[in-house]
Structure 1
């Protein structure tokens, strides 16, 4: 069995002055960021569209093995709530196609109020698949999504269910859906978006990731505790821990 691939990074590539000495000295922030990480999650696409040319420029700033995860716009997930959003999907998929082979995963983050409705999910998945053949990860937050039957449907769709920390529902302590891809989003704990993770937790996380890689599973781990700059330090510590193993 071939080993899986790991993609470690942050939500965005902002580098504070304090961490910049840990990155290559030349280039844009993205180019410097990509000197230490092999993935990034674009969250700004949730709030506003980016021109295809912008995605093309970003793709040109990173090495061949680097991958982007891109969050779907809120107009699709929070306003349309996955229903009747064909024109919005057309625009978004056309834009992110500018990343070419460096597009890794589309991230579908759902509002906490959006309960699971199988017909809506199947119809949306069909619409998305007809426009995009690549990997999809979904981050549901309503309790109805954390049931065995839902997990079976996500496996059929080959969608990964995000494991997000802090955990909102007991069943969310483990990743779900498509088992060949694990997508972790770490928001910081105990204070979301601010707190750094303890070194012991990052070491344990590295051990779990190595176990998954040995089983041929692809693992994404994105640190979203960016409000006070903790994400970059945590990400670098995890990269180092994985290298040591």
Structure 2
């Protein structure tokens, strides 16, 4: 099983976890010493300078990857239409991560239904600017009809917990990239997953693993501080697939 990226939404490290990370360096440098990826959600709310992305890329090792969330001005305000200038600006900024840019995440508002012509035009515009891993997190069941488009353009559909779509907690779309966003359940952003639930997920993934697939596991249950511990636990459960240095459940 190759190309497995495990980490959290952001790289904040709670004081209670400091002993499990290196004591030297910035928060990002210390975080990247234990994890293989992080998801940048702040790009959804505001742009970052190209120099900021470059600095982040320079702070991590060659195998570390960032997932970057598309701005809400594109997804929620423009609703995927007439947003070429916004796409140009976003990719001019985030591509300064270089080969550390591992994935781009497109999260849609619940009220945005699937309209094939609009979706096709939008994702073709994205693909003109970015050829790398791309995932979609729709929150309206109408997008379950978009799988043919997603497979054609090599776009994975996110498996989100708690599940919003009737398809449940399963990735879809193009199988070449499978992306799980673990927000915490039953209490979103707060609940801890714990060893039993994480072991079940790791066994499910390992049983269906393919060497041609890229796997992402992002823990976003940060509000009560459980994301770091859950991510470390899950990484250890995956063993060498999640992180060669973590072979024991902490």
TM bracket, shorter-chain basis: over 0.9
- What is the root-mean-square deviation in Å for CA atoms of aligned residues? 1.2
2:106 to 105, 108, 125: 108
SS in 2 for 1:171: coil
Counterpart of 1:138 in structure 2 is: 136
Cα deviation digits, residues 69-115 of structure 1 (max 9, x gap): 00000000000000000000000000001100000000000000000
| Greater RCO (Cα-Cα under 8 Å, separation 6 or more) | 1
Alpha-carbon distance in 2 for matches of 1:137, 1:172: 17
For the pair 1:99 / 2:97, whether they are aligned, the reply is: yes
Counterpart of 1:20 in structure 2 is: 18
Counterpart of 2:165 in structure 1 is: 169
2:202 to 201, 206, 219: 206
Question: Is the CA contact 1:4–1:212 (under 8 Å) kept in the aligned structure 2?
Answer: no
Question: Is the CA contact 1:212–1:218 (under 8 Å) kept in the aligned structure 2?
Answer: no
Alpha-carbon distance in 2 for matches of 1:68, 1:226: 18
> What does 1:5-154 align with in structure 2 at a 5 Å threshold?
5-147=3-145, 150-154=146-150
Cα deviation digits, residues 42-92 of structure 1 (max 9, x gap): 000000000000000000010000000000000000000000000000000
Instruction: Give unpaired runs (5+ residues) of structure 2.
Output: 240-246
Counterpart of 1:216 in structure 2 is: 212
CA 1:131–1:216: 2 relative to 1, 3 Å: closer
Alpha-carbon distance in 2 for matches of 1:86, 1:168: 29
SS in 1 for 2:209: helix
Equivalent residues, number: 241
Question: Is the CA contact 1:5–1:213 (under 8 Å) kept in the aligned structure 2?
Answer: no
Deviation at 1:215, TM superposition (A): 4.8
Question: Is the CA contact 1:10–1:40 (under 8 Å) kept in the aligned structure 2?
Answer: yes
Deviation at 1:214, TM superposition (A): 4.2
Q: TM-score, normalised by structure 1?
A: 0.95
Would you identify which runs of 4 or more consecutive aligned residues in structure 1 move more than 6 Å? none
Alpha-carbon distance in 1 for matches of 2:164, 2:37: 25
SS in 2 for 1:210: helix
Alpha-carbon distance in 1 for matches of 2:12, 2:194: 22
